[in-house]
Structure 1
Amino acid sequence: MKREHNYPIGTPGKPWGDEEKAQWLAQTTIKRSYLEEVVPKINALTADFDLLQYGALSYDVEKYPLFAIKTRNWDNNKPVVLVTGGVHGYETSGVHGALQFAETQAAQYSDSFNIVIAPCVSPWGYEVINRWNPNTVDPNRSFYADSPSEEADNLMKMVNGLEGEILVHIDLHETTDSDELEFRPAREARDGKVFIEDGVPDGFYTVGDTENPQPEFQKAIIDSVRKVTHIAPPDADGNIIGSPVQQEGVINYPLKSLSLCNGITDCRYGTTTEVYPDSDRVTPEQCNDAQVAAINGALDYVMKQLG
C-alpha cells in the first residue's frame, strides 16, 4: 500500500502562505558554485561558439548571469536546434551533459543546423540543489506569459528572439530519488495537498508531446541511449511516473498545457530526456554521456528525415 507523508513545513491540508515559504527558503543552503563549476566551462567554449548573455537572475545578478552558446556563422536557411539544460538546476547531468555535447559533438552537426544551447537555465537551483527557485516556484511549470519564474521568462525571451525556424528542442532532465523523498512532498505541502508516494523509475526515459508525439523520433533517442545506460521499465500498472508507457522508455505529456519548457516552441521534433542518476548501475560520467547520446540520436534521426 502506498503511504501518505506530511512535510515538516506548514499545516497539512493548508496551502503555504508567505511565512511557510520564508521558512522553506531559510532552510536552503548553497552546496556548490555555478560561477566555479559551470561558467568556466561555458567560457572555455568561446573559441568555437558565440556566447550570448540573455539575462541575469535578480536574486544576485553578479552570481547568476544566464548564458546561451550559439554556433557561429548563423544561417537563417538552416533549421534551429535548441538544447536546454538545468531548467531544474538540481538535475546535474542536464547541465553538464549540455556542456559536454557543446564541447565534443555540436561541431559535427553545425553544417546542417544552427544550434543554441542554454546549459543552466536555473543557476540558483543548481547551487542549492533544488527543483524550485527562491520563491517556491517550479520553473518547469512556468513557461507562459507573465511567468512568475525569472528563469522561464528569461529563456522564453531569448528563444523568441532567435532568427530562423526551431525544428528541434531537446530539454535535458533527470528523475532522482529526491523527487520522491523531498520535492514532491514539498510541492504537495505547498499546495495544501496530501502526498502519496509513487516510485522512481530505474533507468532512462523520454517525455514526448501528447499533441505531437513523434514516436520514431523518440525511439531513435532510446536506441542511442541504450548503448550508454539502461532504459526504464514500466511499473506494474504499465506506467512511468504515473503516465502510460507508449513504447519502451517513452511517455507523453501535454507539454503546452502543463507550461513545460519543451512546449515553448512549435518545433516538429521535441523531447524531454530523463536520466536516473541514483542507480547503482551508472556513474555521473555515464549520466552525462546518456544526455549526449540522446542529443546525438535525436539529431541523427532528424538529419535522415531532412535527407
Structure 2
Amino acid sequence: MHMMRKLAPTGIAAAEIGGMTIHSFLGEQRNSGKPRTIKPGDSKLEKQWGLVEYLLIDEMSMVGLTLLGKLNRIMSAAKHVDPQIPFGGINVIFFGDYLQYRPVYDTPLYTDFSQPSKTKSGQLLSEKEIQQRAARSLILQINYVIKLSQQMGTDDERYRELLERLRQGDCNLQDYELLLTRVVGQPSVSSLRDSPWNEAPILAFRNEVRTQLNNKAAVHNAAQLVYQPMVCVAQDTCKEKLIEDLILMKKVLELSDSKTEHLPGLLPFVPGMPVILKQNLAIELGLINGINGIFRQLVYQADSVSTDALSNTFPNNTQYVHQPLYALIEIARFEI
C-alpha cells in the first residue's frame, strides 16, 4: 500500500477506488491559476512519495493536459529527480476511455500539437500552452496499452451495440427509435406514476422543468405516505437585512434557481426522498460531490414553522420551515 497511490479527477471516482482527487493532492482549487508552492526540503511532500513506485489515475478522459503537467511537476520535485524524467520515475497507470467526458476547463490528453510553435497572430506560445505541450509529450511516452473488449456494464445486447455506435458517433435510425422509447409521452412511458418509471432518473434540459418535476414528485410521495408536506424556505436578504415584506419575499422565492446560484427558494422534503451532495465534505469518508443519500428527518424549532401559503405549487396544508437547524441524511458507505 505504501508503494501505490490512487488518484481520480472527481470525488465519486476517487471514493470508488479508495483514493483521493488529483486537485486535493495538488492542494489547489479546480480553476485556480496559482500553482502549488514547492519549497526546498519539503519533508511532507517527500514523505508522501518517498516509497511510491506506482500511480493509478482513474477516469483519464477527465484529466486534462494542464492538470497532468502540474502532477508531473509535483512528483518530480518529490522524488528529487531530473525534471525531464517523466513523473519522477514513478510508473503511471491510466484507466478509462479517451472518448468519455471531456476535462473541465482544460485541454484533452489526445490533443494534437503538430502545428508550428507560433500562433496565427505571430505571438509566442504562453506558459500554459508550453506546459500543455510538455504534458502531451508525456502521454506519447505510454509504452503499454491494454484494451478491454468485453462489455460488463449491460446485458442488453441491443443497448450495448447502441453505446458502441454512440461512442464512435455513428448512430443509426434504429438507435434513435430505441432512445425514443424512453421519452416521456411515448406509448412505452404512459405515466411517471407507474413502476418502474416512478423511480427512474429523468433527464431535463431546463432548470425550471427539473424544479417542477422535483416539486411534483415530493407532493405526490407525501400524499402516498399520508405525510404533511414540509418545505424549507430560503432566508433571502437585501443589503444584508432579511426581507420581511411578504409580497417581495414571495417574488424572490419564485425566482428560478438559475438566477440564485442554483439554490431554490422553496425546497420540499419528504422522508425517504433521494438527495445528492453538491460539495466535497470529507473524501476519505465518502462524503463527496455527487454521492447519493436518503433524507430521513428535518430538525427545526417549533416556532420556525408556519402554514402561510407561499406558493401555489404546494397543498394548502404545507408546513413552511423558515429556520431549520439541520437535516439527517443517510449515506451508504462505499465498499472498498
Q: What's the TM-score, normalizing by structure 1? A: 0.24
Structure possessing the higher radius of gyration over alpha carbons: 2
**Which one has the bigger strand percentage?**
1
Q: What's the TM-score, normalizing by structure 2? A: 0.22
